[in-house]
């Protein structure tokens, strides 16, 4: 058998080494915009949180000219988010079940794409009741069809799950009915360009303290998704932020409660240093964390750093996914940029 030339071997291996497409979310905060301006050359798509819609399909929001100009110069696709304000369930229900409202929103999205030269939009409708599953699918299909016809793309951000059914516990059942179950993954993947699978907030204000996106949990969520959606349409969610759990009260002298606050990487590192407590690495969860006592009560901080990012980036690369979606620019460990090549 004639040996394969080195050049052919290189080309055959190239798809396995392909860099996943890098999507980063952006807020209006100065530190978020600053991060984008500094690192645009390493970003394929930026998704600014600029727009929202009401239940009548009225699109509201305003673009940041400095971001648009920087994106144009660096050849970065701009695909803004559009959300239901406050992830309000009833706002979405009234929008999605009203044909005139849906048409108005879709026409506005296309018009804004033409005006701003966007690549498209990403629908970030959360807090959707499972009863509105078909309505969400229909809205996404109508929007995708109209935008594609006009030369633009539609993607969707999806709250992850690992099963077609909720678990036995009360929280699991509530989450499935109000956060996870409304997304018909197979149907959505047929309509949209890609799905940003939001594999973060494994632990949240409704749960006990824990990692934002523990590695075994991320793999479980991804394995489930890939049974329904082609890998070429999957963008793996990677969190860049952290959470801090601490004791509080709902009202003075009344029922105690566990509070949760968001922490950026610099804030988490500063807090650990100020409390003289070591940052630990969890080999199972593949993420950093630490704990300390304040007023004789233990507080927990789980966050993400360059190493945690790298573990999840490599997961996306090894699985041959379309790419990854990071929330959010400006809170990250600067080390992540050493792990992403320039385009």
Enter the pTM of the model: 0.93
251 pLDDT band, cuts 50/70/90, is low
- Mean pLDDT over 207-234 rounds to 97
Tell me the per-residue pLDDT of 104-149, one tens digit each, with 9 for 90 and over. Answer: 999 999 999 999 999 999 999 999 999 999 999 999 999 999 999 9
For the stretch 199-203, contacts whose Cβ atoms lie closer than 8 Å and that sit 24 or more positions apart, written own/partner, are: 199/160, 199/236, 199/237, 199/238, 199/312, 200/237, 200/238, 200/239, 200/327, 201/239, 203/243, 203/302
CB atoms within 10 A of CB 99: 11
Tell me the per-residue pLDDT of 68-113, one tens digit each, with 9 for 90 and over. Answer: 999 999 999 999 999 999 999 999 999 999 999 999 999 999 999 9
Instruction: Give me the residue spans of the domains in the chain.
Output: 20-240+305-338
| Res 8: pLDDT | 44
CA distances from 51 to 26, 37, 116, 205 (A): 12, 20, 13, 25
Give the CATH number of domain 20-240+305-338: 3.20.20.80
Question: Taking 80 as the threshold, does the pLDDT of residue 12 lie above it?
Answer: no
The pLDDT mean for the chain works out to 94
238 and 214 in contact (C-beta within 8 Å)? no
Question: Taking 50 as the threshold, does the pLDDT of residue 237 lie above it?
Answer: yes
Question: Taking 60 as the threshold, does the pLDDT of residue 15 lie above it?
Answer: no
3-state secondary structure of 211: coil
6 pLDDT band, cuts 50/70/90, is very low
């Amino acid at each position: 058998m004639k040996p394969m030339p080195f050049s052919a071997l290189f080309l055959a291996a190239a798809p396995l080494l392909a860099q996943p497409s890098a999507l980063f979310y952006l807020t209006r905060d100065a530190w978020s915009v600053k991060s984008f301006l500094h690192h645009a050359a390493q970003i394929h798509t930026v998704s600014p949180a600029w727009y929202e819609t009401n239940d009548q399909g009225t699109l509201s929001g305003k673009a940041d000219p400095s971001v648009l100009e920087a994106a144009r110069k660096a050849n970065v696709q701009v695909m803004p988010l559009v959300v239901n304000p406050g992830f309000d369930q009833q706002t979405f229900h009234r929008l999605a079940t009203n044909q005139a409202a849906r048409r108005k929103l879709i026409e506005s999205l296309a018009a804004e794409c033409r005006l701003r030269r966007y690549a498209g939009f990403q629908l970030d409708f959360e807090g959707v009741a499972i009863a509105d599953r078909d309505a969400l699918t229909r809205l996404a299909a109508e929007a995708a069809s109209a935008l594609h016809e006009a030369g633009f793309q539609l993607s969707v951000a999806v709250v992850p799950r690992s099963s077609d059914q909720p678990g036995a516990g009360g929280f699991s059942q509530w989450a499935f009915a109000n956060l996870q179950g409304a997304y018909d993954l197979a149907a959505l993947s047929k309509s949209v360009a890609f799905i940003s699978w939001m594999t973060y907030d494994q632990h949240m204000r409704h749960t006990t303290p824990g990692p934002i996106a523990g590695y075994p949990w991320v793999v479980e969520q991804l394995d489930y998704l890939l049974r329904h959606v082609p890998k070429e349409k999957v963008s793996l969610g990677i969190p860049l932020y952290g959470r801090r759990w601490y004791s509080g009260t709902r009202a003075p002298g009344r029922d105690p409660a566990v509070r949760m606050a968001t922490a950026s990487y610099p804030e988490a590192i500063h807090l650990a240093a100020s409390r003289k407590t070591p940052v630990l690495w969890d080999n199972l969860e593949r993420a950093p964390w630490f704990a300390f006592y304040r007023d004789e009560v233990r507080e927990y901080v789980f966050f993400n750093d360059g190493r945690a990012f790298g573990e999840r980036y490599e997961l996306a690369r090894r699985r041959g996914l379309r790419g990854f979606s990071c929330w959010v620019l400006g809170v990250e460990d600067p080390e992540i940029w050493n792990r992403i090549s320039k385009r």
